[in-house]
Amino acid sequence: MKNAFILLAGITLVLLGYGTYQGLIVAPREETMGDAQRIFYYHVPAATAAYSLFFVNFVASIIYLWKRSARADAWALAAAEVGLVFATVTLALGMIWARYAWGHWWAWDMRLTTFLVLWLLYISYRILRRSAEAGSTSVMAAALAVMVFIDVPINYMANRWFRTNHPQPVALDDPRMKFALMTTLIAFFAFAALIVWFRYYVERIAQKIAIVHVQKMGILASFVLPAVFFFQSPAEIDLHRQRAFMYSGYIVAWVIYIGYLLLLMAKLGNLKKEAAELAAEGQLSD
């Protein structure tokens, strides 16, 4: 398992580097938005990964409600939490894109609003996982996950069903643009799979420790997702401004991704330390 994870991590790093290179360097500048359009190569894969992970959460939640499988519950939590990270990146990059394209950070149209609702619903899912009474947390969260998933197809179709500020589905004419998008999509799907695998591993350790502490009232600590974004731009739209928005989008995305991974690593370290202490006391077996 460890070797497979390391192999996937190596492949993912190569794909991410190659995809970023295609989006930043190889793909041509778009005529209307210039270099700022290159945010597209991170924004779309982040949104697609979020949709996919919320679907995994939906399926795993149904399996958990049916079979009460601890593994399914761990997959559901991992997929929802990592999906929330990718959804946060989607929102952040979308706001940067909007500030450049529309002159303001936000527009209350159906595509943007339903995605914000989707983000808030999965925030609620995470809050529920932390606050519900012991023993009922997973059941209540799984039931919520099944219900809130309905917003995913609604959001996906919003700019097709309604007139929105958000661009309609984009048909990329230049093959280099298509290739850049496909490489970043593949790269971020691999990245999402890698993080979900890591998060699942952490959750399984947490579940084993929770069994030992089943009579205790303490709840394992959770995370705080990076959620503060600040950006200023000059007044004139020129090449430097386009690149400023482009680079800010890429930087914000990686601040969120790396911040989340650091939080996961810190959580894993704490769990392993606690597991070692319980094992030394003979209360926890491998």
Residue 285 domain flag? no
Each residue's pLDDT expressed in tens, for the chain with a length of 286 residues:
678 888 988 999 999 999 999 988 888 887 777 777 788 888 899 999 999 999 999 999 999 999 888 899 999 999 999 999 999 999 988 888 888 777 778 778 788 888 888 999 999 888 888 775 445 677 888 888 888 888 888 888 877 777 766 666 666 677 888 898 899 999 999 999 999 999 998 888 887 777 665 544 333 333 333 333 334 444 444 566 677 767 677 777 888 888 888 888 888 888 888 877 777 777 666 6
Domains contained in the chain, number: 1
Residue 92 domain flag? yes
Residue 143 domain flag? yes
Residue 152 domain flag? yes
Residue 138 domain flag? yes
- The pTM of this model reads 0.81
Please report, in angstroms and rounded to a whole number, the separation of the first and last CA atoms in the chain: 15
Residue 286 domain flag? no
Contact 15, 186 (CB under 8 A): yes
Residue 36 domain flag? yes
Cα–Cα distance between 89 and 95 in angstroms, integer? 10
Residue 150 domain flag? yes
Q: Which domain holds residue 217?
A: 2-280
